[in-house]
A and B are shown apart, each in its own frame.
Chain A
Amino acid sequence: MRWETVIGLEVHTELSTESKIFCGCTTAFGGEPNTHVCPVCAGMPGTLPILNRAVVERALRAGLALNCKITQNCKFDRKSYFYPDLPKAYQVSQLYAPICRGGHMEIEVNGEKKIIGIRQIHMEEDAGKLVHDPKSGGTLMDYNRGGIPLLEIVSQPDFRSGAEVIAYLEKLRETLLYLGVSDCKMQEGSLRADVNLSVRPIGGEMGVRTEMKNLNSFKAIGRAIEYESARQIEILENGGYVIQETRRWDDDAGESYGMRSKENAQDYRYFPEPDLLPIEISDEWLDSVRESLPELAHRKRERYMRDYGLSGHEVSVLTGHKNISDLFEDISKQSRNPLESARLVTGEIMRLLNVTNTLPEELSPDGRKLAVLVELLSARKINRNAYKEAVEAVFTDNAEPEAYIAQKGLMMLSDDNAVSEAAGAVLADNPDAAADYRAGKEKAFGFLMGQTMRKLGKAGDPDTVKKILKEMLDNQEGA
């Protein structure tokens, strides 16, 4: 029999707000345990939540960008279960009226386009972090993460392969980054995906699904899907039944295992959160969010190709991260030289990110200093070697470009006498090469040129050197 894998995704993304969803504690990552905590997010008796407006705004941005219908009268519900990471033993979430419903996103796998349906997006609070304590043998509870705002983006079961899932996640990540909704750092847990997977004979009835948790990287997700799909097919081919359960992926072992059945049989007793008021999103509010949406990556790609005539490779590098495209656009705008700006960002800047192990999210999108260098290069005030050196100084030490160039003497010599002097010395030292050139060996010119440039250091303007050297050789010939 031929089997088909049916996958749906629940993606949780932490929002990049300053403060938590229901209190003023910071959302900053890290921090000493329990130092980003107040009575509200610690769930102390008598405390009450106040909703952070920015959470609603970000949910609206995500919803609009993902083509959702916005629930203009939405509200929060309580989801109850007992676990030490949940200080109130209920999570404030949305079940009955989630903020967004019915959207979609287009993905592309191996050149084929496909639409993935989005069932709903809802807002909720994150849980705290539990850490094993080797000293007491117990579990340590840290509520710094508790109350950080999350969006849960629930897809339709429209995926048929791990590759589609990865393509969706990459595009979703890129979109959320562009929207400024989340910083989507998987390593910090700000983007997490649960995979619902079942298999069925192609075209047959929907199978029993399992839910996989603890997927911490795109790679882990790909592996887990492959594993789970094979596991279910094997069970079914041997005449067995798949049990509906939650499974935990162990990336080191490369396998998943079922969680205790008790955790599976949940009755969350959702009911409307009485401590929060319903949210009414007016048409005006919605319009203002719609107008403030930034250009998304795929639209940018089209524009870069059309307006700047950039190559497909350059465009995909530039739109790989919002900071990178923002930097490119800023340099481009300030230097009025998009082609050279694109060359700088896709070349030197990408190389420097790589060698310094810097993540794009740490990159400043402020292009002022680099734009100065692009202008100097275009105006032939510095040569390309000097340019590269200065770019590196700006990137690594945040150097001031003009001061750096002045200090290092990188400004090109426009003084022909200095060039003539250097060229004369080189010709005197290398009579053989001069003779070779005159004998018609063009290669020798390159050698003489290189020697002259070396003598002049980074201040040499290759065009001037070339001109003067040629003149001198021709003159000598005539002499």
Chain B
Amino acid sequence: MSTGNMNLTLKVWRQKNNNAKGALVDYKLADISPDMSFLEMFDVLNEQLINKGEEPVVFDHDCREGICGMCSMFINGRPHGPKDLVTTCQLHMRSFKDGDTIVVEPWRAAAFPVVKDLTVDRSAFDRVIAAGGFISVNTGNAQDANNLPIPKMQADAAFEAAACIGCGACVATCKNASAMLFVSAKISQLALLPQGQPERYRRVQSMVAQMDAEGFGNCTNTGACEAECPKGISLENIARMNRDFASAKFISEETV
């Protein structure tokens, strides 16, 4: 079915379910086209497995255009593979060479338990957002949008933090499995905007508390998260979060 000429060896993590023991399994693939995306290469593998009567590799994916944050493969030791600033679904086989051996594992972190094969459970991220990653405004209570001018630089900075897709690459790559880049991106987005001020210090405390409760590790400033983030979310966000978290202890009279 494919028209290319790349031959590859894949070592793919197979694990029946969360309780089962997993292992890397070797697969040979021939005639892979360099124009295929990495996930399309997996489609070819799965089609072959099904035709042989075997179970296909389960992996998370959905939009396949780099925005939903669902795809999550750890490829040759790097989340989303060898290229900077792309998700696995936007990684193309032209980034590999004929004859390559490619090792594909799931995200590994205590807070992201493996569900099956390459699929992990990232619901911890949702619970961190539920703890405070919002502005408390019910539908129907908003004033005219232009009654609140926001300097462009500030709005742009908030947007850059808000571009996080919640994929979890930052956690997967961190030796401490820290979620600080993810958590701080949301905290920063809202802390940079005037709408986010009323709950600013309450928010940082409750989100950090939930982050700790989920079992994510601490930050030791290696910067791997920033380097591997497919959306280029900046480490500055972590600094901002830490500042707000420290300030909250002095400024805020609220306790969470």
| Pair from one complex | no
